[in-house]
Amino acid sequence: MGKFNLIFFCLCLLFLSSCSTQPIEHLIIEQDLENINVAERSKSDMNSSDFLDYGIYWFNANNESFKGFNESKNRAIDVPVNLYDPTKPTVVYFHGWAQGSSKNNYKRENFQINNDRLDLNLNTISAWKNKGWNVAIFYWNQFGDENKVTDAEAKIWSVKGAKKMRYRLKNGKYSNLKSPKYNLSTIAFNQLKSVLSKNSSNNIRIVGHSLGSQLAVSVSYLMNEAVKNGKLKRSLMPNRIELLDPFWSRGAKAFLADFNNDGNKDWTGERVRFYIKEIKEDNNTAITWYKSSAILNLGLGDNNDDLKQEVAFQSFRPWYLNGFDLVNKHVYVRHNYFWSMSFRAPKEVKLDFFRRRSKTGRVSASASTSNARIKQLMNSGYFWDQVEGRRTASPKDNQFQIKKW
């Protein structure tokens, strides 16, 4: 893209975002929500004056979810093996900001794609379940239903943020009556520690989208600390962390301390980078960042450039979406990621001096790429940019060009 076109494109994105009466990710949430499924609770509970539901939900092959942890009893809920088999590999997904979802009958994400224009109606975890994976989502939508993304972000790290641990109700009001005593990272860690306690697969994968990428990394860090302190089996430490178009806001945070002792309060992306460094050093963990939109370039986010070169960084280019559709470009990376387990890992290609493209015989990143290959992509001095499959929704024909930073 020429310099003029690039500048024009960015200005258009800024114009579109400024014209919206709602924050960008509010539109994202409205695009991809399904009816809540709260096992062992009646609809009268959902219609109660102070309804709160959050935590681990297990999914079956039909994309139906069932609650996996009882907060009031502080223990895992026994579920059938088609939902969770402790001998099988496990992937846990953390969604992002959820503004507006509570008033929309507590609707929230699952793994279904429905898009008539793209002729898509599919369950993206079918291949995962067919390959024996346990699949879960950690839901925090009522806590994440804030008008400001930074208010939702704070709850990941602290109970002392501007809005503390309040949650939103169906009527649009907020409540603190059942607010937990711990931040979301601690809550998610305690639940994972419980539900995974007997897992023997040695294969735990953590996936975060957008703001949920912070939660994914923070929980993984707590698991790493627990392993080092002898409070968690090393076999339960995630051996892969996937960041799907992650988001972190600019600026130092009052609720974060000075982790690296540089005399300044940390910002969230910086803290993520510190945590990832320790996780890598202690466990040689495979970590990938999949970029799909300009969500970090609109004034509120931070590019976190130092982190890009420490992980496997891949640029996903969904040209089958409207060029100005920042919203769905941000959303569809998670659909593409989970769907990609249905196919072989995408081919890596290179350009020669005459700009002729050829396959290298290696692969780039996707859900089906091996952990060993992801580790080779990390700290390599290269990143991977999508050059084929950009105009089709299916990951089947994706190819990525290897490029130097």
The arithmetic mean of pLDDT across residues 58-77, rounded, is 97
Backbone torsion region of residue 381, taken as left when φ is above 0, otherwise alpha when ψ lies between -120 and 50, otherwise beta: left
The confidence score (pLDDT) of residue 17 equals 38
Rounded average pLDDT over 150-165 = 97
DSSP label of 383: E
Enumerate the β-bridge partners of residue 66: 58
Q: Which amino acid is at 248?
A: W
Q: Return the higher-pLDDT residue of 183 and 24.
A: 183
How high does pLDDT run on average in the chain?
90
- Average pLDDT, integer, range 208-228: 98
Over residues 183-207, the pLDDT tens digits come to 999 999 999 999 999 999 999 999 9
Instruction: Give the pLDDT of residue 291.
Output: 98
CB 93 within 8 A of CB 139: no
The reported pLDDT for the residue numbered 402 is 98
For 400, the enclosing helix (H) or strand (E) is strand 399-404
> pLDDT of 37-66, one tens digit each?
444 444 547 777 899 999 999 999 999 999
Q: How far apart, in whole angstroms, are the C-alpha atoms of residue 112 and residue 61?
A: 11
Residue 398 has pLDDT above 70, yes or no: yes
pLDDT at 43: 52
Using CA atoms, how far apart are residues 77 and 68, in angstroms rounded to an integer?
Answer: 5
H or E element, residue 129: helix 126-130
Residue pLDDT, tens place only, 293-311: 999 988 889 999 999 999 9
Range in 152-156, 249-253, 351-355 with the lowest mean pLDDT: 351-355
Residue 18 is predicted with a pLDDT of 38
169 CB burial (10 A radius; 0-12, 13-18, 19+): buried
Q: What is the 3-state secondary structure (H, E, C) of 97-108?
A: CCCCCCCCCCCE
The residue behind tokens 């009001």 is 173
Does pLDDT of 104 surpass 60? Answer: yes
The first and second tokens of residue 256, run together, are 């974060």
The CA-CA-CA angle for residues 157, 161, 165, to 5°, reads 80
pLDDT at 11 over 90: no
Query: Taking the CA of residue 378 as centre, how many other CA atoms within 13 Å lie in the half-sphere pointing to its CB?
Result: 22
Amino acid at site 358: S
Q: How confident is the model at residue 24 (pLDDT cuts 50, 70, 90)?
A: very low
DSSP for residue 267:
P
* Nearest Cα to Cα of residue 384 among 365, 401, 367: 401
Quote the DSSP letter at residue 231. Answer: S
Q: How far is CA 367 from the centre of its chain?
A: 13
> Would you say 96 and 144 are in contact if contact means Cβ atoms under 8 Å apart?
yes
Contact predicate 404/381, CB 8 Å? yes
Note the pLDDT of residue 372. Answer: 98
By percentage, how much of the chain surpasses pLDDT 70?
Answer: 89
Q: Supply the pLDDT for residue 287.
A: 98
Helices (H) and strands (E) in the chain, counts: 12, 18
Q: What is the pLDDT of residues 362-372, one digit of tens each?
A: 999 999 999 99
Q: Would you tell me which CATH number, out of the four given (3.30.70, 3.40.50, 3.10.620, 1.10.357), belongs to the domain 19-345?
A: 3.40.50
Most confident region among 107-121, 195-209, 343-357 by mean pLDDT = 195-209
Of 33-42, 86-95, 101-110, minimum mean pLDDT range: 33-42
CB contact set of 227 (below 8 Å; sequence gap of 6+): 233, 234, 236, 237, 282
Mean pLDDT of 155-166: 97
Matching residue, tokens 């309804």:
51
Domain ranges of the chain: 19-345
Establish how many alpha carbons lie within 13 A of residue 32's alpha carbon, considering only the half-sphere containing its beta carbon: 25
